[in-house]
Structure 1
């Protein structure tokens, strides 16, 4: 940044388990190209901050609540330390320091914004609040600690509140944050995102009809929306501009069950949503897919994040056939 025209700056926070900083550096280059200085920071227990024979999940997704609380608290404190550094950089506008985080980084971004009033704007991609709910409902603890209890003791709940973004949401209300969420998220339950959204006073939110990983395929669209949002918040405009659309693919992997009871492994791409449910998933949808018998096209109705019903047509002289689809979404 130049000293004559101070520029805004963002602190960029990566997702859980990132082994290297390639993605966060791409993000940094993007923001710099939009006139926003960027500082990258490896979260505690990641990359060069990971001790030998250790791994990040041991500190963030664990039944040892005190260990997880320490990791989250350290991460939020580190964001404030980077804000200190930015404030003392010549050419950085102290009034326009923000934070952008992805997944775990988004939760740290929410937490840091509630703790440090210098962070005047933020973009949280796939984050949430209510850590107790996330621990109980997220698929990740169930995979890593299948036999660990899902309920926390009262003492553990008190500890978790110290690093729960909802605890500090009331302090973040005067500032601006854009939330980008996945409606079918198995890792950060949509209910946890909705509760934080309410606690923050309903800031701008974009829902994508995907699971936790597909938004990575819309990286450039998400970054464009993030940069436009930050620029508008830091400008003198009284109203926010219309954000560019973000289209992340909805790809479903599972089985198709025919009316005759045949079960075929399948992959289905939701090409066109038609109407939206209150939970931000498509109501009806046109699909292109392939199962173990042949390719097909279909129109379906969403019953839940894991179940569709519809009618499919295969190439050739096959008649249209009703089906039930059971799937996981990318």
Structure 2
């Protein structure tokens, strides 16, 4: 969800020259590569400087966005009747076997508490650590046995990253719906370290893990039904991708599950395995098996297929108790597999399709998906239960608003006749060396923009577009497009569809996380300090160790920060903000090429290819 720069921050201090961005313009539908014709020295110099500046700015963005969840810390207080170290007996279970669950930690958040639990899996495997389920129970503040609430079991994605499922749980809890997540079999502390890679090299193990996951869902239902604050008749399940496949299987097998939200899921597991690039190693391993072992593995897959018992869920689906959201261009779970599951449920006309999006680019729709899932499960809340109010001036909310504005500054076009304007200096220090880079970005309407920066040792870069693109070559000349256009293309319009989708996906994912301020509690810790001079400091302490504290300062009486201090790995720095304005006043002169330089006419298409190459290269350094 966040932007990750592949190159080390030390790259910013290297003097090596950059060659033409590999692959830039070579994708289907992309602009022709600029390397097909000789590149003027001035243009090549601007490419080098522009790329260095963009990589530097990506490092700053990384320091703000590289906030990932980690294990919850111990805190003193939590939901009523739950205390750290407590062991609770459950007498009634789906398999009629009593068991204990243990409270191993509680952390209180703004709108809810996170209770860490462990309890035994109903299936015992050869790997002892896989037989204990670690879970996180998100309990909204104010829950009471007098008015029991519905609950949702949320299941994580294939790679085992809990970031997305934690966002789902936090979002539900902020809406007033208790939620719980647990590590699936062979993931994290339940596995041998191979995680999903081990599962994807052994088809029988994968099928076994899916079956055990469904059984673990049933065990989690046992835990929730034992809780006095939970309505035992209103427990649901939600999954994304692999989590949706498991949720569908569990929903069919477990009649106590009342609702199911299946995001990017489907049926016909054999076809999904045969189709998805992610399962290529699984197919290769399968091909090495004997005929007998292949047959056994195929039987195991068939037994784990969501379609196997889907008919048992049909009556609930026909009552509107199943929500299916699928990507119309899904390259992992084929849309026909989603339709097969919907057909088995009797709801083929009720799939909510994400048009124009694939399995991974569906992140662009995350804010809408979260809202839809929240309201779907909130339909079972007691009357009068509302979403937790957000603190208007809370530290997490202030930081969230700044990140949202930064994304809007680049991605969202301003209103007619207005512009976004950022004027700042980036200072990066490493090993007693310092880079000071003044940067100005102006984003106008109708495709107009201007970008300038001064990089020590590399020089000045300046490029923009009014009715035609232009690029400053050196201190004496500026290249200007030969052909003017009344409606010049925006920067995003210059790049290929794949790159546009990547940008929109990152923006959507970040916006989804920021849509529910309480979600940020799972990404970082936030502190607010009021200084004697009236300024406000918000300190962000990401839970990922490679990012140090981020301090944002707002001067007294200002709604705009004037400084951001950050640390990434061994690189420290700060951003001094002079101007930060969205939809501010605009003038045509802001986007015009410099008047005091000699003008050289070049093909408009060449300059547009140059702009596209710079953006493509920057995106290829991010993942």
TM-score, normalised on structure 1? 0.67
For the residue of structure 2 that corresponds to 1:48, the secondary structure is helix
Q: State yes or no: 1:100 paired with 2:238.
A: yes
For the residue of structure 2 that corresponds to 1:188, the secondary structure is coil
Where do 5+ consecutive residues of structure 2 fail to align? 1-142, 384-491, 497-602, 607-622
The answer to which of 85-94 and 22-31 deviates more is 22-31
Kindly state the Cα deviation for residue 231 of structure 1 after the two structures are TM-superposed.
3.1
CA distance in 1, matches of 2:225, 2:178: 12
Kindly state the Cα deviation for residue 214 of structure 1 after the two structures are TM-superposed.
1.5
* 2:493 corresponds to: 288
In the TM superposition, what whole-angstrom CA distance separates every residue of 1:201-233 from its partner, at most 9, and x where no partner exists? Answer: 116311112111122233221011112222347
* 2:197 corresponds to: 57
Aligned CA-pair RMSD? 3.0
Kindly state the Cα deviation for residue 41 of structure 1 after the two structures are TM-superposed.
1.0
In the TM superposition, what whole-angstrom CA distance separates every residue of 1:286-318 from its partner, at most 9, and x where no partner exists? Answer: x92326xxxxxxxxxxxxxxxxxxxxxxx9599
Kindly state the Cα deviation for residue 18 of structure 1 after the two structures are TM-superposed.
2.3
Q: State yes or no: 1:68 paired with 2:206.
A: yes
* 2:303 corresponds to: 162
Kindly state the Cα deviation for residue 187 of structure 1 after the two structures are TM-superposed.
1.2
8 Å contact 2:160–2:195 — kept in the other structure?
no
The correspondence of residues 70-219 of structure 1 with structure 2, limited to 5 A, is 70-142=208-280, 145-146=283-284, 148-149=286-287, 154-175=295-316, 176-202=321-347, 204-208=350-354, 209-219=356-366
8 Å contact 2:175–2:378 — kept in the other structure?
no
Kindly state the Cα deviation for residue 132 of structure 1 after the two structures are TM-superposed.
1.1
For the residue of structure 2 that corresponds to 1:288, the secondary structure is helix
Where do 5+ consecutive residues of structure 1 fail to align? 237-286, 292-314, 319-329
Kindly state the Cα deviation for residue 179 of structure 1 after the two structures are TM-superposed.
0.8
Kindly state the Cα deviation for residue 15 of structure 1 after the two structures are TM-superposed.
0.4
* 2:614 corresponds to: none
CA distance in 1, matches of 2:176, 2:285: 49
8 Å contact 1:121–1:233 — kept in the other structure?
no
For the residue of structure 2 that corresponds to 1:99, the secondary structure is strand
CA distance in 2, matches of 1:197, 1:38: 25
CA shift in 2, pair 1:288/1:98, >3 Å: same
CA shift in 2, pair 1:221/1:44, >3 Å: same
In the TM superposition, what whole-angstrom CA distance separates every residue of 1:120-156 from its partner, at most 9, and x where no partner exists? Answer: 1010111111011111112222266557549995544
In the TM superposition, what whole-angstrom CA distance separates every residue of 1:130-187 from its partner, at most 9, and x where no partner exists? Answer: 0111111122222665575499955443322211110111011122211111121111
Kindly state the Cα deviation for residue 57 of structure 1 after the two structures are TM-superposed.
2.8
CA distance in 1, matches of 2:149, 2:251: 20
Kindly state the Cα deviation for residue 35 of structure 1 after the two structures are TM-superposed.
1.6
For the residue of structure 1 that corresponds to 2:315, the secondary structure is coil
For the residue of structure 2 that corresponds to 1:170, the secondary structure is helix
Higher RCO, 1 or 2 (CA under 8 Å, sep at least 6)?
2
CA distance in 2, matches of 1:144, 1:69: 11
2:187 equivalent among 46, 54, 68: 46
Kindly state the Cα deviation for residue 105 of structure 1 after the two structures are TM-superposed.
0.5
The correspondence of residues 224-235 of structure 1 with structure 2, limited to 5 A, is 224-232=371-379
* 1:13 corresponds to: 155
CA distance in 1, matches of 2:297, 2:281: 21
CA shift in 2, pair 1:162/1:106, >3 Å: same
